[in-house]
Structure 1
Amino acid sequence: MAPGYALALAFSVALLVTTDAGNPGLVARITQKGLDYARQQGIIVLKQKLSTLHLPDYSGSYDVGVLGNVDYDINSMVVTDLQLPSSEVTLLPNVGLKLTVSGAYIEIHGKWRVHYLFISSHGDFELKVLGISISVGLSLGSDGSGRPTISTADCSAHISDMQVHFSGGLDWLINLFDDTIASSLRDNLQKQICPLVADAIQNQLEPVLRTLPVTSNIDDVAAIDYSLTGPPIVTAENLDVQLKGEFFERSHRSPPPFSPLPLSIPDDHSLMVYFAVSEYLFNTAGFVYQSAGKLIFNVTDDMIPKDFPVRLNTSSFGKMIPQISKMYPDMLMKLKISSPSAPSLAMKPGNVTISPLLDIQAYAILPNSSLAPLFLLNLSTDAVAKLGVNSSRIVGHLELSSITIALERSDVGPFPVQILSFAVNYYISHILLPEVNDILKNGYPLPLLDHIQLSNLMLKLNEHYLLLGADVQYE
């Protein structure tokens, strides 16, 4: 891991967004506005599916009274137009969703043939299927991997009217029993609608939901668990999807020694979706990297800009602490920076602060490449995070507020620690912090389905959590 990368991740968790009985680390709320947009996209899929309606050829015989029986064939039927002009999706508390379609119509073109005694005739016909209504109950849940599921709970379809117009040949003859033909076609169509709806949900909508990233790998050390903690929670106003929202170590997962606080999302319905991201998610990152021993890195002289007057060698430090150059003349030095405890951030309305504790152990590098300890510093730091968001990631920038230095131990005799303040502040502000911010500007992914982009973004800091609101676009 590059110097500063692990610490950058510990800082940058302040800029992010399995089943558990406790509170989630992240909640995604879909409003009615968001459901209406999803309905529009779903209607496109449903229209495509219903356009595949198949009406098989069939034949029969009809008694036309004094004329006797007329044999007929109906064939080559294809859908030429299909419209779903009115639809609505509503929330069913504790169940899921209800999709209703009304006023739909279908136009079908086909061919006919009749045979009566020694007379045969044929022609075309146009069938208008009017007043189609569909009602579908959708059950929402989660599977064993923590992904959302959707299935058809119930479905009904009704056709209110059929209009058929025969043309060509002896059309007057087949028009004698056009109502019988229309009734047969109606029964056939009504039986096909719900199976096609169920197929569209299972084979086209369900695979989209399965693109939710249950696990998002960050690096070779950590990943984020975005799995659902249970089925979505449906109320009369909102659809809430509760996610684990937790960093974990990829090679060895252990639960963090703290739990997420309850999340209370404000009742705002002006945007399609809202993400409430608990500070718990952010703080589990610090726990993971601390537990994995990754919040340790080294600073050497070749990392110091050429124009900085305080070099990492005993000659330069000897000007501030004479005993260093006397004990270890003309030697390079190394600083080992580590975090003795997992860094933890705090979110409050208007700002995010993080105050990691750092230890700086200074060494002289001996001619045989072994290390001689010089002194150990304890640093208390305060930083403020500037947050931002783009179409799929949360990004940010850290600004260091203060550094307080204390001398924990000296192996070269006592010295006033204040003389190191300039050098330490420079190393942290000009070497470590830029590395952190280079990582932060790339951001971290939100748990979004494939082909989803966010727009009209809103970001607000609340007590213990970050609230992100956005409209959604499916591309």
Structure 2
Amino acid sequence: MTSCLLSLLFLFPLVSTIKAQPAGCKIRITDRGLDMLKFETQKFVAEELSNISMPEMKGKEGRFQYTITDVKITELNLANADLQFIPDVGLLFDVQNSSISLTFNRRVLYWFFYDTGNINASADGVDMNTALTLIRDVEGRLKINNITCDANIAKMKAKFSGTLGRVYDFLASLLTTGMRFLLNQRICPALDHAALVHVNQLLETIPVRTEVDEFIGIDYALIDDPVVTSRSLDMYFKGMFFDLANPNETLVNDAVDPVIKEYDRMVYLALSEYFFDSGMFAYYKAGVFQMHIVNEKMSKDMEMLLRTTYFGALMMLNPAWVESPLSLRIAVNSNPKTTIKTSGATVHMTAIVQVMVLPPGQPPVQLSSMTMEAKFNAKVSMKGKRLAVHADLRRFKIYSNQSALESLALIPLQAPLKAIMQMSVVPLINNYTKKGVQIPLADGMDFIEEVVEYHNGFIVIGANLHFTKGLREMMAAGIPAEQNTV
């Protein structure tokens, strides 16, 4: 049971306090996802139970004295196992009519005869019913709050070998009865400890807020407890980016709450406009959307066009500046806005473009100030664990901040400035967004067969899960190195 939870925990490691605003990001695990997780769960539970330690057993029956040591579980057959959601609670791992194979050593004294040897035993009719309650804790993390467990072994038999095997076969019933009692007493504590201690300790090492790059981070805190139905487990994340230098200066979420209606795939990821807007806002506040185009960064054609356009202004200011270098300063002046419709996603951005002359040995002098408006097509993609966005310039226009007459004079600059946008500004944006942001997914699990669907106000990505590591390996690996605590 704990392994199933562990998978989900890696997928949703982060939590908050109250659902006071719409979620920027939602994730759904469906019953199809549980079908795949069931196999990993069986392996994990088998590994946990194989580590159960049994005490030495001593006793006396008539003229027999016996000692049982080194009890080891050699095999668990959990073929009849089921993994399912418990509405409003969490998860259920149920095992019916399975079996356990064991070995242990015996030392038997009968009259003056002393015998030692190995005993193979098996337990049949093994039933285990384990339920996990999932909540968010006060620090904003997913946590196993409670586990209820019931285990029972219907019968057990042992096969004796050695010199006196047939003589004391009647002891088998006595020994297996005691062994069955001890196993019944130890199965549930083993599962309880694995869930409430090992998994919760692992969850405490997973950061709620993580760095995306040197400028921004992301908050994947849950804003409510998980919602569990008979078909799915839904998680509501804050899904908010922030400027690392000013982490408390964040964008208010007034976007549409994303909705997931599908159940066909193993996992669904829904992202609202706020998810992308907060990312743009964080980059804007970090000062990333600024460029200074001068000298070798400016093409000869662009420089010549600027000199022609502003020749009169240069002559009026100072004829000696006609040959001085010119520069363009581009700075986004407000938070870019994302719009998501069924036809796709676009980002609208405005910036101030300043044309400057750089007289030798003097401060820069402004020749003109323009407002630039640009609209980008934004294509969202998911590969493995990373969500990426690629932008293409769709519309572009500039106008003067000073007069309508100057706006007319700027018409010849439209095409070359658009070319600069395509060659300089768009690559700058894509340089950050193409790296993508990691979805909280453990090392050893990936999204595959992704399908992106655009809705009014949000995006839904449906995918299946692929395990490249077992859950035991994932636990040993811990948190991926690229996730740094902010």
- Is 1:263 the counterpart of 2:262? The answer is no
Q: Distance in 1 between matches of 2:257 and 2:409?
A: 47
Alpha carbons of structure 1 residues 316 and 130: separation in structure 2 relative to 1, 3 Å: same
Alpha carbons of structure 1 residues 173 and 249: separation in structure 2 relative to 1, 3 Å: same
Match of 1:265, as an amino acid?
Answer: I
Match of 2:436, as an amino acid?
Answer: G
Q: Equivalent residue of 1:428, what SS?
A: helix
> What does residue range 10-409 of structure 1 map to in structure 2 within 5 Å?
18-20=16-18, 21-63=20-62, 69-207=63-201, 209-210=203-204, 213-252=207-246, 253-266=248-261, 268-305=262-299, 308-311=300-303, 316-326=305-315, 327=318, 328-409=321-402
Alpha carbons of structure 1 residues 302 and 144: separation in structure 2 relative to 1, 3 Å: farther
Q: Equivalent residue of 2:394, what SS?
A: strand
Match of 1:357, as an amino acid?
Answer: T
Aligned residues of 1:212 and 1:448 also touching (Cα < 8 A): no
User: Greater CA deviation, 36-45 or 236-245?
Assistant: 36-45
Q: Distance in 2 between matches of 1:287 and 1:55?
A: 59
Length, aligned pairs only: 446
In structure 1, list runs of 5 or more residues that go unmatched: 1-17, 64-68
Q: Distance in 2 between matches of 1:145 and 1:309?
A: 57
User: Greater CA deviation, 153-162 or 295-304?
Assistant: 295-304
TM-score, L = length of structure 1? 0.87
Aligned residues of 1:145 and 1:227 also touching (Cα < 8 A): no
Q: Distance in 1 between matches of 2:80 and 2:217?
A: 44
The root-mean-square deviation of aligned C-alpha atoms, in Å, is 2.3
Aligned residues of 1:213 and 1:447 also touching (Cα < 8 A): no
Aligned to 2:7: none
Identity of aligned residues (%): 24
> What does residue range 440-451 of structure 1 map to in structure 2 within 5 Å?
440-451=433-444
Q: Distance in 1 between matches of 2:257 and 2:305?
A: 52
Match of 1:256, as an amino acid?
Answer: L
Aligned residues of 1:212 and 1:450 also touching (Cα < 8 A): no
Aligned residues of 2:354 and 2:368 also touching (Cα < 8 A): yes
Q: Distance in 1 between matches of 2:17 and 2:406?
A: 55
Alpha carbons of structure 1 residues 147 and 87: separation in structure 2 relative to 1, 3 Å: same
- 1:401-427 Cα offsets, whole Å, 9 max, x none, are 2212211127x9897121222221221
Aligned residues of 2:377 and 2:392 also touching (Cα < 8 A): yes
Aligned residues of 1:98 and 1:137 also touching (Cα < 8 A): yes
Alpha carbons of structure 1 residues 275 and 427: separation in structure 2 relative to 1, 3 Å: same
Q: Equivalent residue of 1:170, what SS?
A: coil
Q: Distance in 2 between matches of 1:460 and 1:95?
A: 30
Aligned-pair CA distance for 1:41: 1.6
- Is 1:423 the counterpart of 2:416? The answer is yes
Q: Equivalent residue of 2:230, what SS?
A: coil
Aligned-pair CA distance for 1:132: 0.8
User: Greater CA deviation, 435-444 or 174-183?
Assistant: 435-444
Aligned residues of 1:34 and 1:273 also touching (Cα < 8 A): yes
> What does residue range 447-466 of structure 1 map to in structure 2 within 5 Å?
447-466=440-459
Q: Distance in 2 between matches of 1:30 and 1:364?
A: 58
Q: Distance in 1 between matches of 2:417 and 2:190?
A: 68
User: Greater CA deviation, 31-40 or 459-468?
Assistant: 31-40
Q: Distance in 1 between matches of 2:165 and 2:407?
A: 113
Aligned residues of 2:256 and 2:458 also touching (Cα < 8 A): no
Aligned-pair CA distance for 1:353: 0.9
Q: Equivalent residue of 2:402, what SS?
A: strand
Aligned residues of 1:350 and 1:460 also touching (Cα < 8 A): no
Q: Distance in 2 between matches of 1:45 and 1:431?
A: 51
Q: Distance in 2 between matches of 1:62 and 1:79?
A: 26
Aligned-pair CA distance for 1:194: 0.6
User: Greater CA deviation, 163-172 or 116-125?
Assistant: 116-125
Q: Distance in 2 between matches of 1:435 and 1:320?
A: 27
Aligned residues of 1:317 and 1:325 also touching (Cα < 8 A): no
- Is 1:435 the counterpart of 2:424? The answer is no
Report the structure number with the largest CA radius of gyration.
1
Aligned-pair CA distance for 1:151: 4.7
Q: Distance in 1 between matches of 2:114 and 2:280?
A: 85
Q: Distance in 2 between matches of 1:258 and 1:228?
A: 14
TM-score, L = length of structure 2? 0.85
Q: Distance in 2 between matches of 1:296 and 1:41?
A: 49
Aligned-pair CA distance for 1:184: 0.8
Runs of 4+ aligned residues of structure 1 deviating over 6 Å after TM superposition are 412-415
Q: Distance in 2 between matches of 1:93 and 1:413?
A: 66
Q: Equivalent residue of 2:167, what SS?
A: helix
